[in-house]
Amino acid sequence: MNAVPILSKSTIENMLKQLVEEKYIERHGKGKATFYVKK
């Protein structure tokens, strides 16, 4: 999070959610073990 201090955590989470819904990325894992892979 320190790498992009101008974006809030909720903004980043919403952007990732949108990318998953648009099938641009895939979500894997849960909680702290979550990671995303480009399709």
Residue 32 is assigned to a structural domain of this protein: yes
Buried b (16+ CB within 10 A) or exposed e, 9-24: eeeeeeeeeebeeeee
Specify the pLDDT at position 4: 62
Residue 7 amino acid letter:
L
**Do 36 and 28 meet the contact criterion of CB atoms below 8 Å apart?**
yes
Per-residue pLDDT in tens (0 to 9) along the chain, 39 residues:
566 678 888 999 999 999 999 999 999 999 999 999 999
Write down the pLDDT at residue 24.
98
The two tokens of residue 4 are 């992009």
Q: Which domain holds residue 17?
A: 9-38
Q: Considering its fold, how many domains does the chain have in total?
A: 1
- Give the pLDDT score at 29: 97
**Residue 21 resides in a domain:** yes
The reported pLDDT for the residue numbered 14 is 97
CA distance 32 to 23: 22
Q: Is 14 part of a structural domain of the chain? A: yes
Rounded to the nearest 5 degrees, what angle is found at the Cα of 19, between the Cα atoms of 12 and 6?
20
Tell me whether residue 23 is in a domain: yes
